[in-house]
A and B are shown apart, each in its own frame.
Chain A
């Protein structure tokens, strides 16, 4: 074999050194400045500056693609292309939005029967079954931890568009499912830094404090902050269906918290607020009646 010229080797080594330096120097800086390992993500969130530098505001266009990539990974590559019938619903976000993680659904069987022999042969070489990573993936025996594979795309989506709330909430949901509440909290914090006073993020953060950190005080305070932020919005924003849903969820969480604490008067107050926006006011009224009975009994 012909000997590689020394100049080429030198150039290669220089490239390698420069590349490694770009990787390690910032890390060493963070290690020195912030000894907590958890701050790695905090420092990394600054990377949106890199994307901003590269793509400007145009980076927001890519954010949705990154979110779609998370959904593609969630389906282990079985995903409709731009030429197939597309469902706007993203399965990766369903559990985070309180919907069932329906991995057996056949509604996403976008392929249908193969139209010709070539298509039939091709299907042998591509992912050809609707599965979810959360329920075993293609082999059916993949552990739930495999869901972690969607996380880089959600992080990139937030780096591309820091105002894309869904990426934070979905990412935090899956981090919680992966038993990483600290990372979920940090991710929601990052979302709040980029979207101060966002009610959806505050609602999720409160739930995280309650379920994973068992800190009822922090949970209640966060929900109260969410309620204040919601009330500070203008009337047009409050009137939207999504905002009404959020209002209902926040006040319901506060009502439940008050019920657990035995503060029935406060619970009734919050349930009255829920009733204003709930699609099932009769059911809420029943809860109010029960709370009133308990409040009367307590007194």
Chain B
């Protein structure tokens, strides 16, 4: 376990050494403050459109951070040839995968904490109302979702040739699932067989990332999601994350490093 933590530590350090996180944070802050500086009908209490925009930017930024970070981990080790001294130590390929995953996931979580702190301060100062538990739940669900995305990206980095193609493909896949995932069953029902069965199969196979998207609830003050539902969603995410990590390990185990 110490080996996995050591590998994860290196990845976390990478988060604050690289500029991606700072750039995304500054962009999110600037765009939100710009939107917030507009006063509609002399009413400074109008706040939901700012919350909506800020949450949207947080989702885009966190996905970008998680995908770009996870996509370059293994290819960078191979390109710089640092994978050889790493595997020459008593470190298995499985531990490398787990360490990279844990590092990327924790780093995305750390970045997400900063984004959510900004969100909480912004909305708190505008609304004078602090639904901390709602924000914590939204953060946890988003972080769990980033776990699936990180594991999926690590698998992509084994399958695809370059980090750039992994990033592009994974971003399209994640965005596609987030926008269309929950509607595939409706689309399936409007189609004849065998297309209906095919779409329904895809619907059940894909990891439903949108399950963890509680933006609408947070923005519109719907209150907390039942913790039982959150628990079930966590189990669902754990199953997919485990599956993707297993597939990554199987792919990496047989992959030539030269």
Contact = CB atoms under 8 A, between A and B. Distances in A.
B149 to A, nearest CB: 17
Interface in A31-84: 37-38, 40-41, 44, 73, 76-77, 81, 83-84
B45 interface: yes
Interface string B195-209: 000000001100010
A12 B29 CA distance: 12
Interface string A140-167: 0010010011011101000000000000
Given A84-B186, A126-B216, A142-B221, A19 B41 contact: no
A173 to B, nearest CB: 13
A155 B41 contact: yes
B201 to A, nearest CB: 12
A16 B225 CA distance: 38
Interface stretch (A112-120, A207-215, A282-290): A112-120
B42 A37 contact: yes
Contact of B233 (A77, A125, A180, A187): A125
A75 to B, nearest CB: 9
Q: Which of B19, B22, B48, B189 has the most C-beta atoms of chain A within 10 angstroms of its own C-beta? A: B48
Interface in A87-120: 115-116, 118-119
Contacts of B226: 124
Interface residues of A, number: 45
A145 B217 contact: no
Interface string A178-193: 0010010001000000
A148 B186 CA distance: 33
Contact of A83 (B38, B187, B219, B232): B187
A187 B141 CA distance: 41
B30 A19 contact: yes
A139 interface: yes
Contacts of B233: 121, 125
B208 to A, nearest CB: 6
Nearest to B200: A116
Contacts of B41: 41, 148, 151, 155, 175, 180, 183, 187
B106 interface: no
Contacts of A151: 40-41, 43, 46
A10 interface: no
B3 interface: no
A153 to B, nearest CB: 7
Contacts of B46: 148-149, 151-152
9 contacts: A41-B42, A115-B185, A116-B185, A122-B182, A125-B212, A125-B233, A180-B43, A183-B41, A183-B42
Interface of B: 16-17, 19, 22, 26, 30, 33-34, 37-43, 45-49, 141, 182-183, 185-187, 189, 203-204, 208, 210-214, 216-217, 219-223, 225-226, 229, 232-233, 236
5 tightest Cβ-Cβ pairs between the two chains A and B: A77-B216, A124-B229, A76-B220, A83-B183, A149-B48
